Amino acid sequence: MDHYILDSQGNPVKELDLIRWAQWYETADRRVAKDSIGNVEVSTVFLALDHNFWRGLPLLYETMIFGGENDQFVERYCNKIAALAGHDRAVALVRDSIQNPSLEEE
């Protein structure tokens, strides 16, 4: 699995030295965006590991929803721009589910 860090401009760069990567990872602020809507949280982070497992462009960012109707929703992205757009879509999904809750079977 490839390891990545963020350079001084916030761009992902591959880090071949596992010790250097681990030291960076321990203290890095990897949060890209976070929103709370009621009791639901939408979080987007820089993963620092390629979650595409060598099958194309590296997937380095992830958005997850915690709580609510879409709990555990996840999407992964290749770059920060796509991650921010995906975060906004997830926030909209949560807001829509709160405004238009699905009917649950009793």
Return the SS3 of 14: strand
Q: What span, in angstroms and rounded, lies between the C-alpha atoms of 30 and 27?
A: 9
Res 71: pLDDT: 96
pTM: 0.89
Q: Which contacts (CB < 8 Å, 24+ apart) does range 15-21 have?
A: 21/48
Q: Which two tokens stand for residue 56?
A: 């194309």
Other residues' Cβ atoms within 10 Å of the Cβ of residue 85:
13
Res 66: pLDDT: 98
CA end-to-end distance (rounded Å), the chain: 45
> Which residues, other chains included, contact 53 with Cβ-Cβ below 8 Å and sequence gap of 6+?
1
Q: What is the pLDDT along the chain (106 residues), one digit of tens a residue?
A: 799 999 988 899 999 999 999 999 999 999 999 999 999 999 999 999 999 876 889 999 999 999 999 999 999 999 999 999 999 999 999 999 988 776 554 4
The alpha carbon of residue 83 and the mean position of all alpha carbons in its chain are separated, in whole angstroms, by 7
Res 105: pLDDT: 42
Res 106: pLDDT: 41
